[in-house]
Amino acid sequence: MNCLVTGATGFLGRHLTKVLHARDFKRVTGYTGLMEVTISNSKTNSLDRVENLTHLKEKFDYIFHLAAVTKAGDYCLTHQGDQWISNQKINTNILDYWKNYQPQAKMICMGTSCSYSPDLPMSEDNYLKGEPEEGLYTYAMTKRMLLTGLQSIGEQYGLKWLYFVPSTLYGPDFELDDNHFIFDLIRNCYNAKHQGTPFSIWGDGTQRRELVYVEDAVRFILNLLSEENQIFNIASGEDYSINEFAGKVCEIFHYDYKEVKRDLSKYIGVKEKKVDIKKITSVLGGKHFFTSLKEGLQKTSEYYISKI
């Protein structure tokens, strides 16, 4: 069995390819053969031109498309045009490659929860409805267009696909300069504890977010590979305020939570983001267990400490 992974050196890509290469793939999926993995990133088989892929002669059983151009924080506010051009280009090229060169492959793509309208329940049937949050609009729409491409090509040519919408992923093996909020909290709390620098969070901290441990997300994706032409949210089903997340991180580092400051000038996005997981829990049944937030934060923090 062969697969191609785009964005293989990204956070999710590193964790996914590790499992695909290991015995864990057999344990999770029940498949008894070997999985041969070809990776694609900006240095190998860049997606900026479809010709960079056409020399790959293997016939893939799966294409995992994880590549995307984005960053946390206010990047989406200041790079709308760059995000549109780059993401539309790489998404179109991988879909073109799928249709014309790898039609036997099942295309597995990643969406984003920011594509959901904050005015509607975040269930899969609402993914293309309403308006995404203004500050994330461009990136959100490129992910909606990716889903539209999957659906359109799949319907016209009879191809198979899956589309996953994760909440914020976290866990070990993250880039130390990754500024997704949970990594920022860990980094800032550690620095406050050991270097005496201020520990500040964006906004008043009442905005609510949801995390999903990256190894859980990989397990869910692999356990759902037999599904066809479906959208699945991947999340924990539990959300917390940024203040609560900060408090839990403070407990890990034995830092006084009362010293945490709030920067009301910073961009905070939507006030609440929690996706509906009824569909995935129904399909997976007893296989949908989650790593506890306490354990996940502990492992993520230990990884950070080991790398600095």
Q: What is the pLDDT of residues 24-42, one digit of tens each?
A: 566 656 665 678 899 887 7
Whole-angstrom distance, CA of residue 234 vs CA of residue 221: 8
Asked if residue 34 lies in contact with residue 201, where contact means CB atoms within 8 angstroms, the answer is no
Asked if residue 173 lies in contact with residue 303, where contact means CB atoms within 8 angstroms, the answer is yes
Q: How far is CA 108 from CA 22, 24, 101, 237, 241, in A?
A: 19, 19, 16, 22, 31
Look up residue 36 and give its amino acid. Answer: E
Residue 242, pLDDT > 70, answer: yes
Terminal Cα-to-Cα distance of the chain (whole angstroms)? 38
Helix axes 293-307, 242-253, angle to 10 degrees: 60
Q: Is the dihedral of CA 38, 220, 111, 235 positive or negative?
A: negative
> Which of 274, 146, 267 is closest to 210 using CA atoms?
274
What is the token pair recorded at 48? 């900026």
Q: What's 229's DSSP letter?
A: S
Average per-residue pLDDT for the chain: 91
Whole-angstrom distance, CA of residue 271 vs CA of residue 209: 8
Q: For residue 159, what pLDDT is reported?
A: 98
- Among 24-28, 43-47, 231-235, 272-276, the range with the most confident prediction by mean pLDDT is 231-235
Q: How far is CA 213 from CA 11, 69, 234, 237, in A?
A: 12, 21, 10, 12
Model confidence at 298, in pLDDT bands (50, 70, 90)? Answer: very high
Q: For residue 255, what pLDDT is reported?
A: 96
Q: Model's pTM, two decimal places?
A: 0.92
Q: What number of CA atoms fall less than 13 Å from residue 102's CA on the CB side?
A: 28
| pLDDT tens-digit series, residues 119-172 | 999 999 999 999 999 888 999 999 999 999 999 999 999 999 999 999 999 999
